[in-house]
Amino acid sequence: MILRTLFFSCAVLLTCSFSTYAQTEQDLTWYLHFFDRSISMDVSQQLAENEQELEEALEINDLAAQARIWKEQGMLHLTRTYSYGKALDYFFKALTLEDSLNLDYERAITYLAMASAYEQVNYSERSVESLKQAQVFQEKIEDLTLQTYVLNKYGQMLIAQGNLALALEQFELVLELVKDLNKPSLRAETLTNMASVYGLQGKYEQALEYNKEALALRRSVKDRKKEAESLTHIGDLYRLMKNKERSLANHVAALEVRQALDDKAGIAQSYNNAAILYQEQNNMPRAIANLELALAAGNEANATYEKMRSYENLVVCYKKLGDYKSALNYKEQYEGMFDLIQREKDDRELAEKQSLHEISKLEVSINRLEEVRRQREREIEAQKKFRNILMLVIVLIATILSLTVFLYLSKRRSNKQLKASNAIIQSQNLQLKELNATKDKFFSIISHDVKGPLNSLTSFASLLINHTDKLSKEDIQMLAKDLDKSLKNLFALLENLLEWSRSQTGNIEFKPEPFDLTAVLTENKTLLETQAANKKIQLIQEFTTPFPIKAHRHSITTVVRNLVSNAIKFTPEGGTITLSIQPDAKDVTVSIKDTGVGMSPEVIEKLFRIDTKHSTKGTADEKGTGLGLILCKDFIEKNGGRMSVISEINKGSTFYFTLPL
């Protein structure tokens, strides 16, 4: 019974395929395709190409590429040349670089490969350690597909070691993880693994239930090869449960599927399984017929193990029939096949010993790598402990400070309230001073700047009224021009005063709205082109591409108009004024650059101050109010921007303002 259950377990593990994971992440798919025997591969050519790629990666110091190439060379030696020592050497090199680059996903795959290499040489302790390390890194990247694959692989290894309870825990965890995933093939393989555990524990009913569920899932995805394997497992279970009829039915069903797939090795297995059942029923002719068919399929597939089974059971059948000559003939063939398998086993064991010898040479390096990793983990753990202690100290200090502050606040509450009241009074006093300064500014502007244009208007009117007869047509035209200039100056003054007063009293709601900033510059350029042309000044707009922005359009239009008007005022005839937009990651900067008279640093310092009045006549004797730039600065700041100026005497000025994007 023990031999039968062990055979059942081995059959399950040998038939576990990697096709389940064909649709997983790229790195895992890359890893698994090396185990696919249906993929033809010229190993020598592949290794040569890898060496060429490695030279190129070394030349440009591409560490990630070097690690990938070394890992690929290791996989080729693991799955094609069976040089497990070389494979581990390459995996170790790849892992060293992946550690330096902190490539968690790649490290998980490398540890998986190392686990497979150790498994091939029966170094189970190292294999399990490598799988555990793969788990550590896959947990960091939280990749569910990789996690389920590692857990299944670990569970299969635990079965091989006889640790059935822990293996079952791993498979149950996988089922929980894939519960919400639409991956029938992955669930089917996990159920098959669990059935293997229950079969080894003698719980055939549970094993049968899981195998049937796996069969249904494999049929749902039309995985015919896996369907045949599930039918074979179910047939084996029914045989162990002494239900020969159902066992035979499932093996025959598996045979039909394998015949449709033309799977010669599988056909040989199914015929052998059916023959054993006929043999146990003492139906020797049927058993012999099936064994001969199994032998023919086994010869075609060169399935050494199945051929040996066929010879062994033919000996038993012919002995029971009394045909000792045929029995002896098949016994000789069985013994020859047995010797061949034994020689292959001896060769494999020798190769394993050679690989173990090579691996033992790598142990020092591997142990050093593990020690470095453990040291790094200890350092990280020490840092965590230090951080926790530091946080605790900070919390204690904060608690003490909080209590101290609370007591201090309780004791000094009345004084703080008094200070707060004083602060409010001081703030109100400052506001009153600012209001007084604003009022003084208003009165200063009204008394000086408004009075000047009005006096001019009165003088011009008096001349026209009292001396009309004495004035020539040219004199009247000159007086009319002066009168127009005074009126325009007065209008500009009143308009700025009105806008500024509205902004100071909160009557302007600076509500952002979407508009084209380039269009605003174009509109003001068009509006002021006549004024500029009168002084033979060229207006240039460098940025003409539409630039959408969200701000208070009216105030921005006022700012642009004031800045361009000022530039015209202080630029001599034949000069240029350039309007530009310069966007960056967070802001957009608008600049108005002229080739005018420029300003000294002392003048620049007074430009935006409300408590100092500064007004300069233009190049054509134009008068200013001194309020336009203050208004501009106020409007820009209320839109969330900044305003600045760069100027040099006789070299022109550039006014900038920014707006947030």
Give tens-digit pLDDT for 94-150. 988 888 888 889 999 999 998 988 888 878 888 888 888 888 888 888 788 888 888
Give pLDDT tens digits for 193-237.
999 999 999 999 999 999 999 999 999 999 999 999 999 999 999
pLDDT, average across residues 380-394: 79
What is the per-residue pLDDT for 4?
40
> Tokens for 474?
């040219």
Same-domain status, 493 and 608: no
* Within a domain: 278: no
- Residue that finishes a domain, picked among 507, 522, 555: 507
Residues 474 and 484: their CA atoms lie apart, in Å, by 15
Residues of the chain by 3-state class (helix, strand, coil), percent to 5: 75, 5, 20
> Tokens for 297?
């399929």
Same-domain status, 655 and 525: yes
Print the domain residue range for 610: 509-661
* Within a domain: 460: yes
* Within a domain: 497: yes
Same-domain status, 610 and 649: yes
* Within a domain: 638: yes
- Residue that finishes a domain, picked among 507, 541, 561: 507
* Within a domain: 91: no
* Within a domain: 609: yes
Kindly report the number of other CB atoms within 10 A of residue 51's CB atom.
11
pLDDT, greater one: 593 or 1 = 593
Overall domain count for the chain: 2
Q: Provide the pLDDT confidence category of residue 656 given band limits of 50, 70 and 90.
A: very high
The DSSP call for residue 445 is I
Q: Which neighbouring-strand residues pair with 657?
A: 590, 643
Q: Is the pLDDT of residue 8 over 60?
A: no
Same-domain status, 487 and 517: no
What is the per-residue pLDDT for 195?
94
What is each CA distance from 434 to 113, 181, 510, 608, 633, in whole angstroms? 78, 69, 22, 15, 17
Q: What are phi and psi of 549, to 5 degrees?
A: -150, 165
* Residue closest to 137 by CA, chosen among 125, 149, 122: 149
What is the per-residue pLDDT for 658?
95
Same-domain status, 631 and 557: yes
- Residue that finishes a domain, picked among 491, 507, 523: 507
Q: Provide the pLDDT confidence category of residue 551 given band limits of 50, 70 and 90.
A: very high
Same-domain status, 597 and 555: yes
Q: Provide the pLDDT confidence category of residue 549 given band limits of 50, 70 and 90.
A: very high
Largest CA distance in the chain: 160
pLDDT, average across residues 282-296: 93
- Mean per-residue pLDDT of the chain: 81
CATH number at residue 434: 1.10.287.130
Q: Is the pLDDT of residue 174 over 80?
A: yes
Same-domain status, 479 and 621: no
Q: What are phi and psi of 310, to 5 degrees?
A: -60, -50
pLDDT, average across residues 497-504: 63
Same-domain status, 513 and 493: no
What is the per-residue pLDDT for 335?
85
Same-domain status, 644 and 526: yes
Find out whether 16 and 58 touch, Cβ atoms under 8 Å.
Answer: no
* Within a domain: 547: yes
Same-domain status, 525 and 602: yes
Same-domain status, 578 and 588: yes
> Tokens for 147?
């996690």
> Tokens for 293?
């068919």
Residues 203 and 237: their CA atoms lie apart, in Å, by 10
* Within a domain: 652: yes
Same-domain status, 529 and 554: yes
The DSSP call for residue 80 is I
Lowest-confidence range among 186-190, 270-274, 421-425, 473-477?
Answer: 473-477
